[in-house]
Amino acid sequence: MVFMLSNSMTLMTIVPEFLREFKSRKGRFPIIDSNPLSNPTQRNMEVLMAERANTVFHNKVIDGTAIKRLISRLIDHFGMAYTSHILDQVKTLGFQQATATSISLGIDDLLTIPSKGWLVQDAEQQSLVLEKHHYYGNVHAVEKLRQSIEIWYATSEYLRQEMNPNFRMTDPFNPVHMMSFSGARGNASQVHQLVGMRGLMSDPQGQMIDLPIQSNLREGLSLTEYIISCYGARKGVVDTAVRTSDAGYLTRRLVEIVQHIVVRRTDCGTIRGISVSPQNGTIPERILYKH
């Protein structure tokens, strides 16, 4: 398995069949020179050309999900020992290319979605019609709030779906796009607030406010929009600290309760157990407990 990164930052994989022959009698794999051209002897050139003659070349972008699938296939085909050797080479390659590329983030890299203007105008027209129906008594206040939330939620979701195609068509190597959609840093929700719209927020009582934040962080928030979003941002910071302590306390209590129990059987035959079935062919990694 040889990994290369082209000048356009497209990660390409070469999966040669000859990897199966690398395994020695002791079950170990020799350390292969990652760059045979560093010592351009005739022997190295012949080996390099022979290796590339029988390779299957896939020119595709490898994101976080694809890397996980690739690692799983490597473990199945070549075992854990040689897979760790390959992943060390991938790690070194990633650090080298990230340093050479020197990706940085600037305000000009935050590309606002072009269709946002008419989408917001259409949502405002629908909200205005809904307000008139409520004024003339045709729509109850609760129903008006529900429909208003649905209108702006649909608008926000449409902008979220347009975000990735907009990056691909305008600037596929945009730093924001590369960092978020590769899984290196950030997620789609955070990018949506940067280039889309912040959307609906909740008040201190937990009720959804029907006045959405139409601006994004690139455009800047008005005073009213900042006051509306201020509570949610502060609440998120406080909840993070509180939930961390609660989770640690629950974990400690669970350990104290079951530390004397030693499980020696796969199935003891009890009728008081909880059945856990595989999801999509895999066992769930986490089991949630309620205290």
Q: From first to last of the 291 residues of the chain, give the pLDDT tens digit.
A: 334 343 333 343 334 433 443 333 334 444 444 444 444 456 666 666 666 666 677 777 777 788 888 899 889 888 888 899 889 988 898 889 888 888 888 888 888 888 898 999 999 999 999 999 999 988 898 899 899 999 999 999 999 888 888 888 888 888 888 888 777 788 888 888 899 898 888 887 778 888 889 999 999 999 989 988 888 778 878 877 777 777 788 888 989 898 888 878 777 778 887 777 777 666 666 554 443
User: CB neighbours of 194 closer than 8 A, spacing ≥ 6?
Assistant: 110, 176, 216, 217, 218
* Start-end of H helices in 171-187: 175-181
Contact 203, 209 (CB under 8 A): yes
- The pLDDT assigned to 249 comes to 87
Torsion angles phi and psi, residue 57, rounded to 5: -100, 125
- Residue 186: the pLDDT is 82
Q: Using an 8 Å Cβ cutoff, are 194 and 180 in contact? A: no
Instruction: Find out whether 29 and 82 touch, Cβ atoms under 8 Å.
Output: yes
CA pair distance 229, 48, nearest whole angstrom:
58
Q: Which two tokens stand for residue 99?
A: 């340093």
The answer to whether residues 200 and 209 touch, using CB atoms and an 8 Å cutoff, is yes
Q: Name which of 161, 181, 174 is nearest 218 in CA terms.
A: 174
pLDDT value of position 33: 45
| Residues contacting 122, CB < 8 A, separation 6+ | 155
Task: Beginning with the edge strand found earlier in the chain, give each strand of the sheet holding 11-16 in spatial order.
Answer: 2-5, 11-16, 55-59
Helix or strand run (H / E) with residue 11: strand 11-16
DSSP 260: T
Predicted local confidence at residue 32, as pLDDT: 42
Helix (H) and strand (E) counts in the chain: 7, 3
Cα atoms found within 13 Å of the Cα of residue 93, Cβ hemisphere only: 19
Contact 89, 34 (CB under 8 A): yes
Domains of the chain, each with CATH number or no CATH: 2-101 (no CATH), 107-235 (1.10.132.30)
pLDDT of residue 154: 92
pLDDT of residue 42: 61
Residue 177: both structure tokens together = 């796009």
